[in-house]
């Protein structure tokens, strides 16, 4: 397990109400008992009940929309008022759609781009501005996806936005290194979130997808959260500008292998 608090005092998780984001909130609070967490999301989901269990002294929940510069800045303002020092940011907020590229409307293209690409940039920028103003370093973990390294029909804006997040992560890592800010990203494969499980049960996901993973299963959300914790920790102190793929061998399993 990483050191007692990972070098952090307070960490923001944008998109912390469900899936990987909520798993990250739970893992950080459980493994780093001295760390405070701010969970921000447009829908609060299970956060309010979870806060009753954890306590308001360790977990702040914020209803927020980070697809605008103003919304992201407000998250930082409220977080800074609550916590002594902001040192970590995780951006898991995202959405997806299923549309033919020929029939896609400008609104359908924009809603995915806004949530992923704009949300990541505005949160990264607002967080970094706080760190630079206070002359403190910190760590950022963004969320990419393996979806942009191969063709994914009917998911064009999602794949394009995730490719943009890779570029954003690498560029900001170089620009902000002088301020002691590390910027990395995680690219998950298929994860057993509620959305994926429901899609499987409804027959929307091809059952053969599981066998396309070298490990013959999807990830659990906490396995992705473990990667987040590592990249936030001082054990990753010399890692910046990297995209960590966590997909159980999905993206590298190009040739079917049957022993």
Express each pLDDT in 204-221 by its tens digit.
778 888 888 999 999 999
Instruction: Give the percent of the chain with pLDDT over 70.
Output: 96
Mean pLDDT of 140-159: 86
Q: Are strands 138-143 and 88-91 parallel, antiparallel or unpaired?
A: parallel
Q: Answer for the pair 52, 27: CB distance below 8 angstroms, yes or no.
A: no
Main-chain dihedrals φ then ψ at residue 93, nearest 5 degrees: -60, 135
- Averaged confidence pLDDT in the chain: 91
CA distances from 232 to 53, 65, 69, 171 (A): 24, 23, 24, 18
User: What does the DSSP assignment read for 183-224?
Assistant: EEEEEE--B--HHHHHHHHTT-S-GGGGGGSTTSSPBPHHHH
Q: Is the pLDDT higher at 108 or at 39?
A: 39
**Which domains does the chain show, CATH number per domain?**
10-246 (3.40.50.720)
Give Rg (Cα) of the chain: 18
CA distances from 44 to 49, 50, 65, 161 (A): 10, 10, 11, 24
Q: Answer for the pair 193, 200: CB distance below 8 angstroms, yes or no.
A: no
Distance (Å, rounded) from C-alpha 225 to C-alpha 19? 10
- Catalytic residue numbers, as ranges: 158
The pTM of the full predicted model, rounded to 2 decimals, is 0.93
Identify the sign of the CA torsion 111, 115, 116, 118. Answer: positive
Of 13-27, 75-89, 201-215, the least confident: 201-215
């Amino acid at each position: 397990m990483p050191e007692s608090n990972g070098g952090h005092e307070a960490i923001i998780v944008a998109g912390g109400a469900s899936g990987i984001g909520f798993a990250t909130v739970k893992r950080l609070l459980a493994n780093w008992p001295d760390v405070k967490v701010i969970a921000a999301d447009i829908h609060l989901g299970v956060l309010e009940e979870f806060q009753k269990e954890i306590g308001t002294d360790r977990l702040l929940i914020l209803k927020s929309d980070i697809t605008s510069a103003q919304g992201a800045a407000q998250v930082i303002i409220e977080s800074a008022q609550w916590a002594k020092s902001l040192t970590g940011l995780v951006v898991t907020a995202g959405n997806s759609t299923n549309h033919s590229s020929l029939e896609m409307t400008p609104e359908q293209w924009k809603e995915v781009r806004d949530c992923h690409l704009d949300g990541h940039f505005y949160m990264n920028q607002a967080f970094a501005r706080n760190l630079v103003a206070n002359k403190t370093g910190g760590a950022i973990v963004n969320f990419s996806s393996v979806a942009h390294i191969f063709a994914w029909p009917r998911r064009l804006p999602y794949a394009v936005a995730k490719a943009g997040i890779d570029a954003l992560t690498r560029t900001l890592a170089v620009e902000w290194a002088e301020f002691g800010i590390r910027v990395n990203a995680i690219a998950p494969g298929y994860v057993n979130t509620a959305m994926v499980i429901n899609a499987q049960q409804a027959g929307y996901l091809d059952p053969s997808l599981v066998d396309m993973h070298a490990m013959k299963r999807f990830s659990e959300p906490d396995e992705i959260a473990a990667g987040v914790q590592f990249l936030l920790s001082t054990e990753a102190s010399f890692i910046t500008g990297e995209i960590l793929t966590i997909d159980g061998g999905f993206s590298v399993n190009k040739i079917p292998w049957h022993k």
